[in-house]
């Protein structure tokens, strides 16, 4: 069922929150934006990079969603820094 929902998501822009008031923004930077949605039985979170879906997951609580997104963003940010340093060498 989640796959069917994702078909339209990658093409949508960062205004996705305006289109769906059920979404809570968890992270917002120049490159990345993350949202979560309460599905009653779990919280579904999604991370977008340059308007394209790059990661999604689910958590049992809103706070767990925040921690999961922060963890993934820490990895993405470290990977980005490592790539920049490698290119400079």
- Average pLDDT per consecutive 10 residues, the chain (89 residues; last block may be shorter): 39 51 89 95 96 96 97 87 60
Give yes or no for a contact between 69 and 27, defined as CB atoms under 8 angstroms apart: yes
**DSSP code of residue 89:** -
pLDDT of residue 89: 55
DSSP string, 11-49: G--TTHHHH-TTEEEEEE-SSEEEEEEE-SS-EEEEEEE
pLDDT of residue 88: 61
pLDDT of residue 3: 39
pLDDT of residue 22: 87
- pTM equals 0.69
Q: Where are the domains of the chain?
A: 2-88
């Amino acid at each position: 069922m989640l796959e069917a929902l994702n078909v339209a998501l990658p093409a949508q822009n960062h205004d996705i929150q305006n289109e769906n008031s059920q979404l809570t923004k968890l992270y917002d930077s120049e490159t990345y934006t993350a949202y979560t949605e309460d599905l009653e039985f779990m919280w579904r979170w999604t991370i977008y990079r340059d308007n394209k879906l790059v990661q999604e997951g689910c958590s049992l609580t809103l706070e767990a969603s925040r921690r999961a997104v922060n963890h993934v963003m820490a990895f993405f940010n470290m990977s980005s820094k490592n790539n920049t340093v490698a290119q400079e060498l």
